[in-house]
Amino acid sequence: MNIIKYKYKLLFTLTILFTLLFNLNKSYAVNVTPTSYINKIYSVMLCGPGSSLTSCVSPVILGSETDGKSFDLSSVTAGASAGGMGNLSTVPYGTAFSFFQVILDRDFTVVAEGSDGTRNCVTAPASGDGTASNDTTPAIGTPKTSDGTASDNALAQVIKIPNGFTLDTNMNGTDVIDGSVSANEEPPGDAIDADTPFIKFRVALATPFTLKPGKMPNIQVAFSLANAVNFANTGGGICLVSPNAPAVAITFVE
């Protein structure tokens, strides 16, 4: 193996998505497995000593793209690479890293169908029967009529995390993609707002990672899209659509 070559081109499986804790009055809610689940990633980084699920200290950026890079988790098998976005050239030897952080977009594009607890729903584009989410309201799908019409087919729909939603404490809103803490950044546990178009997401590595001279590890990511989309009925007869978290574990293997 050419150590130098692989040091500058390490492939990452960017399947790091998250659970949203919505402040919605859901009368009924059911999780389903999507057939497509796309998100845009802006940067990936290791978090230095002293980090936790609520804070990425002294981040070491492994890869960053100003315009972001989109990944569809449904097209990648567990542990496979979703594309190259990063390398280990900036990682110091001998430092133990226990946490990983990703900066991702607040928009998701999903294709899914399932029950909202009272009826069958499908995702639908804003140009069709669906309603796109915006900065203040979640996305709304459409009821499945089961009459064989086109409206019965689940189509790609953009789901935006609206302002005022509270994320789990391993996530928080930000307006920068370099891992620094900006003036507009919300602390973990606070609701996101219009000043923060990106989300910081932190995950604990299965085992701490330490780069050693002469060693070039591969990254393995295990994940599942089971129950990664939620359909909910707030009582008004509408199919709200929101993202849930695929199960994910990240491991560096030498």
Looking at 32-46, 94-108, 135-149, 160-174, which range is the least confident one? Answer: 135-149
Quick one: pLDDT at residue 133?
A: 63
pLDDT at 8 over 50: no
CA 173 – CA 185 distance, rounded (Å): 6
pLDDT in tens, 21-73: 344 444 567 788 888 888 888 998 999 999 999 999 999 998 889 999 887 77
Q: Which of 27, 43, 25, 93 is nearest to 199 (CA)?
A: 43
Phi/psi of residue 239, nearest 5 degrees: -100, 95
Q: Which of the 8 DSSP states describes residue 75?
A: G
Report the distance separating Cα 7 and Cα 17, nearest Å.
Answer: 26
